[in-house]
Amino acid sequence: MSKQSLGLQWAAYIVLIGGMLFMLVPFMQMLTTSLMKPGDELTLPPKLWPHPIEWSNYYKVWVEVNFVRYAMNSVLITVLDMVGMVASCAIVAYGLAFFEFKGRNLIFLAMLGTMMLPSQVTMIPTYFIWKQLGMLNTYYPLYLRSFLGGAFGIFLMHQFYKTLPKELYDAAWVDGANPWTIFYKIYVPLTKPALSALAVFTFISSWNSTLEPLIYLQDKKLYTLPLGLLFLRNEVDNKTTIIMAGSVITLLPVLIVFLFAQKQFVQGVASAGLKG
C-alpha cells in the first residue's frame, strides 16, 4: 500500500471517528442529565459528569410516573406488530416472487405505488374506518394492519427471494413438496437475514411510534412509552432531569436490539438489493 493510499485511509478513519463522537454528544448529554439532581443541569460551567449520581430520577419515572406500565404496553404492541409484519410480508412476497399468475406484475407495481403516498394522506380515512369498526381506544389499530402486510416489507422480502435460485423451488416441487412445505422448510431458513432486517425495521418503527397511539388511545392506562414521554413534562413539573431519564428508558431497547441484530440487519438489507 502506497503512502498516499495509507494517508487517505487514515484521513477517512479520522473523519469517521470525528463524526461518531459528534453524534454521541447528544446521547451523552441526555445520559448525564438524567443522573443529575434537579437544577444541576443549568449550572455554569456545565457539569460533564454528575456528582453525586441521582438514580432516584429513574425510580420516579419507572414507578411513580408508571413508566413500567407504558413499557409493558409498548412491548405487547411491538411484538404483535413484528409477528404480523414479518409473517404476512414473507408469505405475500413468496407468492409474488415464485407463482406465475395473470396480473402479478401489476399487483406488485400497485403495491409499490402505495409507498409514494404520505401517511398523512390516509390518516383521516383510516381513522374513520377504525371508528366505524368500534376499535378506537384499543390496540387493534396499532398492530392489526400488520397482519395484512406492508409495502416496504413485501418489497424487501421480494427482492431477497429474487436472489435465491428458482431451481430450489422446482426441485422440491418435483419431489412432491407442496408450496407451504417449500416455503417454511426451504425458503424461511434461507431468508433469515432479510426476516431479521424486516423485524428490526418493524421494531424501531413500532417502538418509536407516537402519532398513531396519540390518535387512537385516550385511556392513560393504554399509553405506550413514546406517548408517556410526550406527556411526562406535565407530570413532573417540567423537570429536565426526570424527562431525560424517561428518554433514556425509551431509547435503550432500540439500541440493544440494533446492537445485537446489527450483523443480520446489514446482511439482510445488502442482500435484498442484489437483484431486481
The per-residue pLDDT for 270 is 60
For residue 139, the model assigns a pLDDT of 94
Give the three cell numbers for residue 38: 434537579
Q: Does the pLDDT value for residue 109 go beyond 60? A: yes
The answer to whether residue 233 sits within a structural domain is: yes
249 CB-near residues (< 8 Å, 6+ apart): 58, 61, 62, 67, 71, 225
Cα–Cα distance for residue pair 48/32, rounded to 1 Å = 7
| Per-residue confidence band for 121, with pLDDT thresholds at 50, 70 and 90 | confident
Location of C-alpha cell 433469515 = 192
Q: What pLDDT is attached to residue 271?
A: 59
Identify the CA nearest to 206 among candidates 73, 86, 77, 69. 77
Residue 191 lies in a domain: yes
Give residue 141's pLDDT. Answer: 94
In a domain, 200, yes or no: yes
Q: Would 108 be classed as within a structural domain?
A: yes
CATH assignment of the domain containing 145: 1.10.3720.10
What is the phi-psi region of residue 37: left when phi exceeds 0, alpha when psi lies from -120 to 50, beta otherwise?
beta
- Tally the domains of the chain: 1
Mean pLDDT of the chain: 87
Residue 13 lies in a domain: no
Q: What is the pLDDT of residues 124-156, one digit of tens each?
A: 999 999 999 999 999 999 999 999 989 999 999
In a domain, 250, yes or no: yes
Alpha carbons within 13 A on the beta-carbon side of 58: 13
DSSP category for residue 201: H
Mean pLDDT over 261-272 rounds to: 65
**pLDDT of res. 2:** 66
Q: How far apart are CA 233 and CA 212, in angstroms?
A: 20
Confidence class of residue 276 from pLDDT cuts 50, 70 and 90? very low
- DSSP letters of 125-139? HHHHHHHHTT-TTSS
Instruction: Count CB atoms within 10 A of the CB of residue 122.
Output: 12
User: What pLDDT does residue 209 have?
Assistant: 92
Asked if residue 26 has a cis previous peptide bond (ω within 30° of 0), the answer is no
Structure-block grid coordinates of residue 192: 433469515
Q: What is the pLDDT of residue 73?
A: 95
Is residue 205 assigned to a domain?
yes
In a domain, 58, yes or no: yes
Mean pLDDT of 106-110: 90
pLDDT band at 83 (very low <50, low <70, confident <90, very high): very high
Domain that holds residue 77: 30-272
Tell me the torsion sign for CA atoms 49, 55, 56, 61: positive
Q: Of 221, 212, 207, 211, whose CA–CA distance to 252 is shortest?
A: 207
Q: What is the mean pLDDT of residues 162-179?
A: 86
Average pLDDT in the 23-43 region? 85
Q: State the pLDDT confidence band at 1, using cuts at 50, 70 and 90.
A: low
